[in-house]
A and B are shown apart, each in its own frame.
Chain A
Amino acid sequence: MLEVPERKPPPAADEAEAAADAGRRRPVPAWVITAGSLAFILAAWEFFGRDVNPVFGSYPSAIVEAGIQLARSGKLWTALLDSLQPFAVGYALAIVVGVPLGLVTGRFRAVEAAIGIYITAGYAMPLVALVPLLVLWLGLGFKVKVAIIFLLSVFPICINTWLGVTAVPKTLIEVGKSFVAPDSVILRRIVLPATLPYIMAGIRLAVGRAVVAMVIAEFFTSISGLGAIIITSANNFDTATTFVPIIIIMFMAVALTFMIGVIERRVAPWQAEIAGRDKQ
């Protein structure tokens, strides 16, 4: 284990070489760079983490071991299910409500004047402070988790959509008008597609917030889910086990963001093509 970082040349050198290579030959694929960076971080963590008191910190192999134990006992799977169900429902609900609300708010002056202020305020709302109240209303189970996840993720989606609509070129809307398109058709066939890149950005941003909301919900309300594993193991000074759900949640968020990126390129391919995605 200790030899790992020594055998592998540091990725910094790799990247420098890659950059020099790029000019001459084919560039190194992005995933190789990401994998190299990940390997370096994990190796360094493993190397230095072992010297730390296990109460104050942990390291990858210990975390994997704790993870396997959690999985064998079956606790991990129940917790995962307990967390993912409200996450999926709350997040999906945020998209279903946030996108149309943002579209309508951005498109119609009266709606913007009537509810824009609540959306702006809602985005900045200190939701954590409201959790006790939500518990009073909705109890301690599934419903309150969904509500917290929904409330924290709906606003970034809505605000981004709203912003996107205001950025739609006026002339594109005039194209619709010149063909006598009714408002509903202009909204669906011109404003919505023109706003898609913004909507997808909002949906991406909301992933992070929804994940945080999920953990908050489990900290404050029920003794279930991944959040509960974090709390109980932390209380038992079992730091390695504490890291298991944290890593899983981070992995989940990264995977979800990646998936959204894939969807984005499918539903709005012209955007990437226009931008060209030309990076150095």
Chain B
Amino acid sequence: MGEVSLVDLSKRFTLRLDGQTHHVQALSRVSFSVHDGEVVSLIGPSGCGKTTALRIVMGLETASGGKVTVDGREVRGCGFDRGMVFQFAELLPWLTALQNVMFGLEMKGMRGAELRQTATRYLELVGLGDSLNRRPHQLSGGMKQRVGLARALAVEPKVLLMDEPFGALDAQTRETMQAELLDIHARTRKTILFVTHDLDEAVLIADRIVVMREGRVQDVMTVPLARPRPDLGLVRGMREFADTRYRVWRALHEPATVH
């Protein structure tokens, strides 16, 4: 199981600018669910609150109102039921790829031979079986993000939370990573909440797309593309892809609906 629900999630930031206190409403009553085994893209312009929502789901930030549940249980703070893949991988630079993956597992309490075996297995899953002992600065951007993915997957979370993980990669690497992610999803059936600002990416990888604007959910739409999607190049040529992409584009550009 791995069903995530955001229920009436609100977040207010207080800023002090030029001696004046400003309140910024980052999220206003955001509600949506990610079903078990589903991939949901959370898309919106920068500043729309999508990353804030993801960070609250992870437990790195607290909500001002509302709640987040995983399989019906309200979450408080971080937990091993959720795994985070950060925007810039955020590997610990003094550890090797293997040790970076082992770090999360150790925190979960794993010790001994099992620790090394599990970490190795997950690095093999993301295609880094032969780079176990490289340090982050000896890895390319794509490889770093693979390690980040392996680190999050290794603790076997129910839900994978991904914060624009491929945004900093070059176009070609990004495409490879998207295909890789779909492949891993096909094999593990993880629930994935994926934040992105890339229209194509949002459509290619998701079952459903949540469009956010100005701290609100603007629209939720289903992607009428079958799984598995082994050839993303082919998917891009499909009519359903173009249609969905256009619908998302419209949702991002038409005047915001007021709830």
Please determine whether A178 and B92 come into contact, CB atoms closer than 8 angstroms. no
Contacts of A169 on B, CB cut-off 8 Å?
A: 90
Residue A75 at the chain B interface, CB threshold 8 Å? no
A171 to B107, CA, bound (A): 17
Which A146-187 residues have C-beta < 8 A from chain B? 169, 171-172, 174-181, 185
Query: How near does chain A come to B134, taking the closest CB pair, in angstroms?
Result: 11
Please name 13 pairs of A and B residues whose Cβ atoms are closer than 8 Å in the assembled complex, sorted by A. A174-B90, A175-B86, A175-B92, A177-B59, A177-B78, A178-B58, A178-B60, A179-B107, A180-B79, A180-B80, A180-B108, A193-B94, A270-B137
Please determine whether A185 and B107 come into contact, CB atoms closer than 8 angstroms. yes
A177 to B135, CA, bound (A): 22
Please determine whether A175 and B80 come into contact, CB atoms closer than 8 angstroms. no
Residue B177 at the chain A interface, CB threshold 8 Å? no
Which B55-98 residues have C-beta < 8 A from chain A? 58-60, 77-80, 82-84, 86, 88, 90, 92-94
Q: Quick one: given A185-B107, A273-B135, are A178 and B94 in contact (CB under 8 Å)? A: no
A178 to B87, CA, bound (A): 14
Interface of B is mostly: loop
**Best-surrounded residue of A177, A190, A268 (most CB of chain B within 10 A):** A177
Residue B155 at the chain A interface, CB threshold 8 Å? yes
Task: Pick the residue among A171, A176, A189 that contacts B86 (CB under 8 A).
Answer: A171
Residue of B whose beta carbon sits closest to that of A169 = B90
Residue A2 at the chain B interface, CB threshold 8 Å? no
A185 to B107, CA, bound (A): 9
Residue B103 at the chain A interface, CB threshold 8 Å? yes
| A: number of interface residues (CB 8 Å) | 21
A193 to B84, CA, bound (A): 22
Residue of B whose beta carbon sits closest to that of A174 = B60
Residue B104 at the chain A interface, CB threshold 8 Å? yes
Interface string of B91-119 (1 = CB under 8 A from A): 01110000000011001100000000000
Contacts of B92 on A, CB cut-off 8 Å?
A: 172, 175, 190, 193-194
Residue A274 at the chain B interface, CB threshold 8 Å? yes
Contacts of B86 on A, CB cut-off 8 Å?
A: 171, 174-175
Please determine whether A270 and B78 come into contact, CB atoms closer than 8 angstroms. no
Contacts of B103 on A, CB cut-off 8 Å?
A: 179, 189
**Best-surrounded residue of B82, B92, B108, B135 (most CB of chain A within 10 A):** B92
Residue of B whose beta carbon sits closest to that of A177 = B78
Task: Pick the residue among B77, B82, B90, B93 that contacts A270 (CB under 8 A).
Answer: B93
Q: Quick one: given A177-B60, A179-B108, A180-B78, are A273 and B137 in contact (CB under 8 Å)? A: yes
Sample of 7 further A-B pairs with CB below 8 A, known A196-B94, A274-B93: A169-B90, A171-B86, A177-B60, A178-B82, A189-B103, A270-B136, A273-B137
Task: Pick the residue among A172, A180, A273 that contacts B107 (CB under 8 A).
Answer: A180
A169 to B91, CA, bound (A): 11
A177 to B77, CA, bound (A): 9
A185 to B78, CA, bound (A): 15
Residue of A whose beta carbon sits closest to that of B136 = A270
Which B124-177 residues have C-beta < 8 A from chain A? 135-137, 155
Query: How near does chain A come to B16, taking the closest CB pair, in angstroms?
Result: 17
Contacts of A179 on B, CB cut-off 8 Å?
A: 78, 80, 103-104, 107-108, 155
Query: How near does chain B come to A164, taking the closest CB pair, in angstroms?
Result: 14
Residue of A whose beta carbon sits closest to that of B104 = A179
Interface string of A190-221 (1 = CB under 8 A from B): 10011010000000000000000000000000
A219 to B170, CA, bound (A): 64
Q: Quick one: given A172-B90, A190-B92, A193-B94, are A178 and B135 in contact (CB under 8 Å)? A: no
The 4 closest A-B pairs by CB, nearest first: A179-B107, A178-B84, A179-B104, A193-B94
A189 to B103, CA, bound (A): 9
Contacts of A190 on B, CB cut-off 8 Å?
A: 92
Contacts of A172 on B, CB cut-off 8 Å?
A: 90, 92
A245 to B104, CA, bound (A): 53
A172 to B91, CA, bound (A): 8
Please determine whether A171 and B78 come into contact, CB atoms closer than 8 angstroms. no
